[in-house]
Amino acid sequence: MRALVIDDSRAMRRIVGTILKDFGYEVREAGDGRQALDVLEEGFTPDLCCIDWNMPVMDGLQFVMAVRANPAHRQVTLMMVTTESETGQIVKALAAGAHEYLIKPFTADAMRDKLALLGLLPEEVSA
Amino acid sequence: MTLSHAQPITELLDVETVQSIADEVWPSLVGDGEAFVPVPVAPPAEVVSAWVTISGPWNGAVVLTCAPATAAALTENVLMTRPPTVVDDEDVADALGELANVLGGNIKSVLPGPSALGLPQIGTAPPTGRLDDVRRLTGQWRGQSLTISVQGVTVAPHTERNEVPQQ
């Protein structure tokens, strides 16, 4: 499994990346939506993108819309990982094409539950 | 610039809510078993602050303030670094900023909306507005002083972000 972690905070990229690596993921990072699109264009094909909302240059919602507008990336699962916890924001992200929503702060167990829901938890971890 | 006529934060947010948010943030970001303990200790002589602005019906900032040494120790925990790795100023700005960001995002969620959250900033805390528009939680982490201040401003804060505000 491959994941792209998109967050302007290196600390948060490290936290999310460490959890995903513990679950067996190969992880790449991007500091904003624009950088993340560049990673995808380079040919990295993640199973999962974990996306912060509030970022400079290109925010998470804009990234979701850009990915959804490109048929080449239709297989990737998009999960918002953000402090934006109001219902209206969650609805907006899901309407734009995000598959799941994880609110900061979160635990490794919460991440595991979301991945299990998405069918993206490796068998050796879920067993 | 727009003058703010919103209800003061003291009518919108109680200190118990701030503490409950800190109770969720500390174990998640700072580490298992870590806690923001709401028992004040002597404030440090020198401080550094990280904050995010909130723009909406209520305008202000969520500010996390501590001593530089405490900020470095928090950063080591957030980044899960161990000696001999030394955190630098950029690491501290990033980690303390993310703590303020997560605190601010969760505080925004309990305020009247729609509101927008600014990107994290670090340095000398922004000045407060009305004296009654401040909700402050003072406490400690590992015996070192920490303050979470939810403080209004007299003008709408400039939000450095490119996100479209909530509709």
Q: What is the ipTM of this complex?
A: 0.88
Q: Choose the weakest-confidence range: A35-49, B53-67, B81-95.
A: B81-95
Query: Which pLDDT score, from 0 to 100, does residue B153 have?
Result: 85
3-class SS string, B60-107: EEEEEEECHHHHHHHHHHHCCCCCCCCCCHHHHHHHHHHHHHHHHHHH
Query: Which pLDDT score, from 0 to 100, does residue A40 have?
Result: 97
β pairing state of B144-152 and B121-123: unpaired
| Position B156 pLDDT exceeds 60 | no
Q: What is the mean pLDDT of residues A103-119?
A: 95
pLDDT tier at A125, thresholds 50, 70, 90: confident
SS3 category, A21: helix
Residue A65, class by beta-carbon neighbours within 10 Å (0-12 exposed, 13-18 middle, 19+ buried)? middle
| Position B161 pLDDT exceeds 70 | no
Query: Which pLDDT score, from 0 to 100, does residue B159 have?
Result: 54
Residue spans per domain, chain A: 2-16+25-108
What homologous superfamily is domain A2-16+25-108 in, according to CATH?
Response regulator (3.40.50.2300)
pLDDT tier at B44, thresholds 50, 70, 90: very high
pLDDT tier at B158, thresholds 50, 70, 90: low
Tell me whether residues B98 and A53 touch, CB distance under 8 A: no
Query: Which pLDDT score, from 0 to 100, does residue B2 have?
Result: 45
pLDDT tier at B80, thresholds 50, 70, 90: confident
Q: What is the mean pLDDT of chain A?
A: 95
Nearest to A50, CA basis, from A100, A113, A92, A89: A100
Phi-psi label, residue A33: left if phi above 0, alpha if psi -120 to 50, beta otherwise = alpha
Q: Give the Å distances, CA to CA, from A121 to A14, A15, A44, A78.
A: 19, 17, 20, 14
pLDDT (tens digit per residue) in A46-102:
999 999 999 999 999 999 999 999 999 989 999 999 999 888 999 999 999 999 999
Q: Is A61 on the interface with B (CB under 8 A)?
A: yes
Check: CB of residue B105 under 8 Å from CB of residue B119.
no
Tell me whether residues A9 and B160 touch, CB distance under 8 A: no
Query: Which pLDDT score, from 0 to 100, does residue B164 have?
Result: 43
CA B120 distance to own-chain centroid: 9
Q: Choose the weakest-confidence range: A63-67, B32-36, B82-86.
A: B82-86
Residue spans per domain, chain B: 9-152
Query: Which pLDDT score, from 0 to 100, does residue B155 have?
Result: 59
Q: Which residue of A has its CA nearest to B100?
A: A83
- A107 contacts in chain B (CB < 8 Å): 27-28
| Position B16 pLDDT exceeds 60 | yes
Q: What is the mean pLDDT of residues A15-19?
A: 94
Phi-psi label, residue B163: left if phi above 0, alpha if psi -120 to 50, beta otherwise = beta
From the candidate CATH numbers 3.40.1550.10, 3.90.1580.10, 3.40.50.261, 3.10.20.30, the one assigned to the domain spanning B9-152: 3.40.1550.10
Q: Which residue of A has its CA nearest to B97?
A: A9
